[in-house]
Structure 1
């Protein structure tokens, strides 16, 4: 399993204030991030797991799903997690104009602001799509795009035992931003096994800060 895609390694050459693939490694911090929720079946299980182990994470939310499940968004904020912007409909940005892309983000920002009072949120495009138009727009307007340095590859839907074995063999390192999803049980089941192990080994997990210090 290749948890460190070449694309993300190349993006590290861009300024952190524009495209973030890693975060501060202070005190050995790692950063769990979850895309595509909230999901009424799976997200509560994940929140229960994180609360049990006193771990904070970051959720990149699809605006339409957040609108449909407001209590889950409120719970995330109340329990100290960070919420980020994963577009409104999760359509492929490859087929959208720049204006359509920004409309997706702006509509989601407006919704999420009701929960954390932040007018703008960290951005993560659907499927990690990034073209020159979006990159230039974000540079001009001071928006921060968050990618990842460590891909759990849970979206490939491996068996839980296989995913656990792969993640255990190559665990995230300090400063890693970990990509996972909360619209299925796959990452949740694996983390149910691995989080106690990683915490016992002294690993620390935090929510992403809005800005790097």
Structure 2
């Protein structure tokens, strides 16, 4: 049986395309990590089982049991109950008890934040936002998220809500978005949207992904 360490925590990042898990130190260093496709169509319970197995492999590789789990997940999430809101990139997951399910599967206490909010907190503690006081983080991936830090504290709206900046309307009656609306910023500037626009307008012989586009 692995001995618990109060010096390390488990981290889970759930996006629309992939899930990343790992162990991190108290000073923010990634000690070991693993990634897998999100595969939301396989269902919420299958994803929980997959995350638990990934965390177990990471713990065995590092020979230590983490003190708890911190989760960042795409879309709205209640930071107090750990339940998922209407996550358009994870169909069928709405209302699912994310933190309770992870705790049941791993035996570790889990807490959760929207992934952009979690990233903003990380940047405030260890990254470019350290000492900045107030800043807005914009996260571009399968979707677009935002985390707002004001006077060193994460800003929350009513009911713990976070700013869904990817769904600000920039072009009324514009391109359809995965949320069901039209003209959202995410429909034009997310990773998949940029890939589609670039490959349609600047074909390279083989399809470029968002990382290649940004690197160029």
Write 1 or 2 for the structure with the bigger share of strand.
Answer: 2
Q: Same fold (TM over 0.5)?
A: no
Query: Under a length normalisation based on structure 1, what TM-score does the superposition of the two structures give?
Result: 0.32
Structure showing greater relative contact order (alpha-carbon pairs closer than 8 Å, 6 or more residues apart): 1
Query: Under a length normalisation based on structure 2, what TM-score does the superposition of the two structures give?
Result: 0.31
Write 1 or 2 for the structure with the bigger share of helix.
Answer: 1
